[in-house]
Amino acid sequence: MLMAVVSQVVVASPYSQRGYAPTRLFLGPTANVLPDGTVWLYGGTILDNQFRDYGIWHGVLNVGLGDVSEVTLSVGRLLSNLPAFQPGNLATAMKLRLVKTSFLSAALKLKVSPGMTYYVVDTLVLFAPGPIYRNFLRTYRIRTASVMLPITFNFGRVSISASPFVEESGTRMEMEGLPSLKNCEGGTLCDSLRAWLNSDPFREVKGEKRMTFYGGYVGGTYAWRKGTDLLFELNSLPKYLYRGLVASDTLGGVARYSPTNRLPKDTVFAVLHTFLGIRHYPFRNLALDVGVVIPYDTHLPPEDRLNLLGATIYFNFHLLFSLEDLEGF
């Protein structure tokens, strides 16, 4: 078992001494927790994956409790779900401070998503003898749980953190609208349908498929000027490919929908994302992250793994305030 331990450099922002500072880089958390009674709301663009309808926004609520823990409630696909909101896209997390000294901080973070549901409209091709295209619906029901162990070393305005990352997922695939072999006695049409339904990408399996991913992150900030930090992060994130999805988008016509152009099983591999950007504090309670994300896809051939054409713009906003600030309202 390979466990990647990575480091992260953090320079305190001008507002961190007031308690109004995010406890993460772009994505990777630090060992710091929010002060007791501090509320942190943030949202922005999220990374794309193989599901094109995943949406572009997420929303997260964090609350500091007792200066020792931080609880989180997050919502994915925020805009794409409205007005039909799906509770299955919720995730909860808790970060618990284990050690805190003037030099060293350590924490444990656990994140759980009780259930996410993705719908994919798929197509199969029957021959009678010419091609007949039939649409059907694939449903992927996915649960995930992850653990991080960030450790932060403080050197005045500079701090260095390290954290492993482990995520386990459970996936179940369901299919609706597939043609039936009932009353199918023979002929070209029945033979092609039988070949489809007997192949692995089109055979429903009871229970969940479990997968485990090991990764981590490394990054840092630099206090460029008052109210503005330069941010850098390398984050090894999981990319899941699920059984039955189209394996290659380069094929056209009938070949694209062939059972041989389908993923035969669920797999997970690492995509290394490089974040370069800034965090700007226009106000005491507001921070804005803007950066460029460049992926390095380990699933692709070596010559195609680094693709600058796949770079995207990352935007995130942070609103932080203490519950005491609301006493006057």
What is residue 223's predicted lDDT score, i.e. its pLDDT? 82
- As for how many domains the chain has, the answer is 1
**pLDDT band at residue 108 using 50, 70 and 90 as cut-offs:** very high
pLDDT tens for 21-39 read 899 888 889 899 999 999 9
Indicate if the pLDDT at residue 269 is higher than 80: yes
Flag whether 1 is in a domain: no
pLDDT tens for 199-236 read 777 777 778 889 999 999 988 888 888 888 888 888 99
d(CA 199, CA 219): 44
Flag whether 156 is in a domain: yes
**pLDDT band at residue 9 using 50, 70 and 90 as cut-offs:** very low
pLDDT tens for 13-24 read 544 444 478 998
Flag whether 329 is in a domain: no
Contact, 288 vs 282, CB < 8 A? yes
Cα dihedral 249/255/260/262 (nearest 10): 30
Q: What is the residue range of 179's domain?
A: 6-323
Peptide bond into 201 cis (omega under 30): no
Flag whether 328 is in a domain: no
Determine what percent of the chain is predicted with pLDDT higher than 90: 24
Flag whether 37 is in a domain: yes
Indicate if the pLDDT at residue 257 is higher than 70: yes
Calculate mean pLDDT across residues 282-290: 90
Q: Which is higher by pLDDT, 162 or 236?
A: 236
Flag whether 232 is in a domain: yes
Tokens read off for 304: 């195609």
Q: What is the CA radius of gyration of the chain?
A: 23
Flag whether 123 is in a domain: yes
What is residue 50's predicted lDDT score, i.e. its pLDDT? 40
CATH number at residue 166: 2.40.128
Query: Which of 241-245, 316-320, 325-329 is the least confident region?
Result: 325-329
Top-confidence range, 18-22, 246-250, 309-313:
309-313
pLDDT tens for 121-144 read 888 877 777 777 888 888 888 899
d(CA 229, CA 274): 17
Contact, 88 vs 102, CB < 8 A? no
Q: Which is higher by pLDDT, 301 or 212?
A: 212
**Contacting residues for 300 by C-beta, under 8 A, at least 6 apart:** none
pLDDT tens for 50-87 read 433 334 467 889 999 999 999 999 876 544 444 443 44
Flag whether 51 is in a domain: yes
